[in-house]
Amino acid sequence: MFSKVLASFGQGGAKVDAQLMDRSVRPGGPLRGQVMLVGGQVDQEVDGLGVTLLSRVEHTDERGEVSLVDMPFQNINLASNAVVRAGQQLTVPFEVQLPWETPITTVLGKHLTGMAVGLQTNLDLGGSVVDPQDIDAVAIEPLPAQHRILDALSRLGFQFKAAALEKNKITGLDQHLPFYQEVRFGPSPAFAQIFHELAVSFLAKSTSMQVVLDVHKRVRVGKGNGLGPQGRPFIGAFAVDYPKLAATNWEQQIEGWLREVARPRAIFD
């Protein structure tokens, strides 16, 4: 009886450990792995066993204060209404289909500063949820089209600063996840006197994606005062069809849009 009481508090109870089979994955593709379930000192009922994809997202409240929250965006149930015997070892394979809008966390194996996406293993034993501390980081590489756009920005001289996820929707575009990713760059030498920062976001689908460029342009604060520290946002979006990716000079297209935004329009722009 004492063993059963301890197991209900997580001491001497069943344990789980997830193992990822793929070292890296891409948006829209599968993430494969297996969950090792090891029985404790007594038989226990498994009400639920599953995995959840989590992302660390920036949330801005009504006062403008920003906090980081871990937000689930994909859940897979692996087992329910089962019994794990004392000392029993079970292996439960799984495959998670990543949403096309899944944020990228690495580029050519290098981690993007500010990004955190992980796979959490969830175990519910007889109505008592085991503390879900088993979280494995997931390395998500860009789609070829995403990599091409990032490469074009690099070739234009923009320097990567950090990446972040924002809990929000991009106005006017078809977006399925409750957040979007911004990959932020410092301005290239050619635009250093014009822009504070450039951010790129991707809203990918199976055959195409929307690329969103968000630049903060330095603005004039008054006649004779030059360019001030304030920034005025400009947002542009264009579609990328995967089959036509190689037919477009993306450096030329991106630079053309940036030069149009950079063109003076008035004393306060």
Residue-range domain boundaries for the chain? 2-137, 144-262
For 106, the token pair is: 């690495």
Question: What are the phi and psi torsion angles at 150 (to 5°)?
Answer: -65, -40
Range of lowest pLDDT (162-171, 183-192, 212-221): 212-221
The DSSP code for 140 is B
Q: At residue 5, does pLDDT exceed 90?
A: no
What are 152-186's pLDDT values in tens digits?
999 999 999 999 999 999 999 999 999 999 999 99
Neighbours of 43 (CB within 10 A): 15
Rg over alpha carbons for the chain, rounded to the nearest Å, is: 24
CA distance 211 to 61: 27
For domain 2-137, give its CATH number from 1.10.1740.10, 2.60.40.10, 2.160.10.10, 3.40.50.10860.
Answer: 2.60.40.10
Q: At residue 7, does pLDDT exceed 50?
A: no
CA distance 32 to 97: 9
Which pLDDT value is given to residue 242?
97
CA distance 142 to 168: 21
Which pLDDT value is given to residue 128?
61
Residue 134 neighbours by CB under 8 Å, 6+ apart: 16, 17, 18, 120, 121
Helices (H), the chain: 2-8, 144-155, 250-262
Which pLDDT value is given to residue 10?
47
Residues paired with 173 in a beta bridge: none
Amino acid (one-letter) located at 17: D
